[in-house]
Amino acid sequence: MLDNKDVYRRPESALVVIYDRQCRVLVMQRQDDPQFWQSVTGTLETGELAICTAFREVKEETGIDIRQAGYQLRDHQQTNRYAIRDIWQYRYPPNTPYNTEHVFSVQIAGNDQITLTEHLSYQWLDKTSAMAKVWSDTNRAAIKHCVPDTFVSD
């Protein structure tokens, strides 16, 4: 029999804003809620550090291996606390109203092959359009804070 800790998600996640040299932001459409667009995000596994989750989730959700590509993952040393959506509450231990989210970003070349495994589609959008497209306030704030307003070179 599975222990409940093996069934429920840990209420802690990593959010990774991916943007390219033209400051376009990668946003992805969720399979379980097509109205929900987001940056890469994922739950920390047992014993896993947030930065390790960030590396793992980018590779799992987009196919981009940050380390192998030579990109620099930036830890913004910022955490957000937000209410877990009612429709996802069953994924977490009973009486767990909030999730803690660690914010990261990575600038990529922009010509990388994107291989979706957990999303329906993706778009590259300018910063303002990406902020308007994503569903969550914390994702919107992360894009605003993490993505430069103008062209950035390596």
DSSP-derived 3-state class of residue 89: helix
Residue 2 is predicted with a pLDDT of 42
| Residue-level pLDDT at 97 | 94
The band of 1, judged by pLDDT with boundaries at 50, 70 and 90, is very low
Per-residue pLDDT of 86-126, as tens digits, reads 988 999 999 999 999 999 999 999 899 999 999 999 999 99
Burial 9-27 (b: 16+ CB within 10 A, else e): bbbbbbbbbbbbeebbbbb
80 touches 103 (CB < 8 A) = yes
**Burial of 58 by CB count in 10 Å (0-12 exposed, 13-18 middle, 19+ buried)?**
buried
pLDDT in tens, 14-44: 999 999 999 999 999 999 889 999 999 999 9
The helix/strand/coil state of 12 is strand
